[in-house]
Amino acid sequence: MIIQRVVLNSRPGKNGVPVAENFRLEQSTIADTIQVGQVRVRTLYLSVDPYMRCRMNEDTGSDYLLPWQLSEVADGGGIGVVEESKHDNLAKGDFVTSFNWPWQTVAILDGSLLQKLVPQLVNGRLSYFLGAAGITGLTALLGIREKGHVAVGANQTMVVSGAAGACGSLAGQVGRLEVCSRVVGVAGTDEKCSILVREMGFDAAINYKKGNVAEQLRELCPGGVDVYFDNVGGDISDAVISQMNQNSHIILCGQISQYNKDVPYPPPLPPDIEKIQKERNITRERFLVLNYMDKQEASVLQLCQWIQEGKLKVRETVVEGLANIGAAFQSMMNGGNIGKQIVSVSK
């Protein structure tokens, strides 16, 4: 069977900025028949995420992420529909997902590695299982619950950087649902800031490209910062940390401003900021959602309930066509999208 697939065409280099041309669309073939335990699936949606930048390097710098190989098919979160099955628990027409879905139009996969989806849980919006009801939503919810130390009646202020992104836009809303009294986002355009406040219930949002971030934080968080959901690192994080309270907490989710630089993860803080962190006993521990998969099922059900009740607003940037996944990746790394970046492969 002839298929289309996207392979890694070139590496941007550890300090390089990814471009669409780092990926290549090509024709390939898969077997016409499947073996016992396998399913043939047609790809519907693929997820494009910041962590994938690490996979473009020969060394990902992580013990749980494998690098993409040159001229080999890339992979990540994906959703598809079963077209043929020789697996006992999956049937033709079932919707399934995997964290290691190949970037190709049709694939033959091990059925035991797939998770069956229930579209009704997300009001039929299957792509939500790659975002708000998937790893992204789990990262926001479990990050806050496991590392944020949010407590009822504590009158806590949360700041979220990268707040218009896939995880940040959910984290701010989850912070409010988990009883933070004030939630402030940091984003890169006036439009994004407006959406955060108008649609997603943030109390305020700062456009870091306009004015002084530290001054705006002092105005918007007069009682200091108790919880910081950090998606970006760099200068923005330095400004937030400098205004964090004694015994406050950083949820170290991502450091997208540092992904095109050859630095360790998590990147070291500047000496003056590190001094503040230590003197104020601010926790800054690496958070990996995969370490909390025993809480996945209950957490996904909570996220789906909030979605169904309209308490969790979901934004997606959907790009049509497998051929455009490289451009979607480049746009996402440049902060050009709002919410989750999804590629729709086929209908």
pLDDT digits (tens, 9 = 90+) for 294-307: 999 999 999 999 99
Maximum distance among all Cα pairs of the chain, rounded to whole angstroms: 64
Tell me the pLDDT band of 332, cut-offs 50, 70 and 90: confident
Question: In DSSP terms, which residues pair with 45 in a beta bridge?
Answer: 79, 344
Q: What are phi and psi of 234, to 5 degrees?
A: 70, -150
- pLDDT above 60: residue 113: yes
Please state the length of the chain. 347
- 244-296 pLDDT, tens per residue? 999 999 999 876 645 444 555 677 899 999 999 999 999 998 888 888 989 99
- 129-179 pLDDT, tens per residue? 999 999 999 999 999 999 999 988 889 999 999 999 999 999 999 999 998
Domains of the chain: 2-131+315-344 (3.90.180.10), 135-290 (3.40.50.720)
Tell me the pLDDT band of 64, cut-offs 50, 70 and 90: confident
Average pLDDT, the chain: 93
pLDDT at 216: 96
What DSSP string runs through 261-295? S---SSPPPPHHHHHHHHHTT-EEEE--GGGGGGG
Mean pLDDT within 12-41: 95
pLDDT at 259: 47
**What gap in Å lies between CA 239 and CA 90, rounded to an integer?**
50
pLDDT at 260: 45
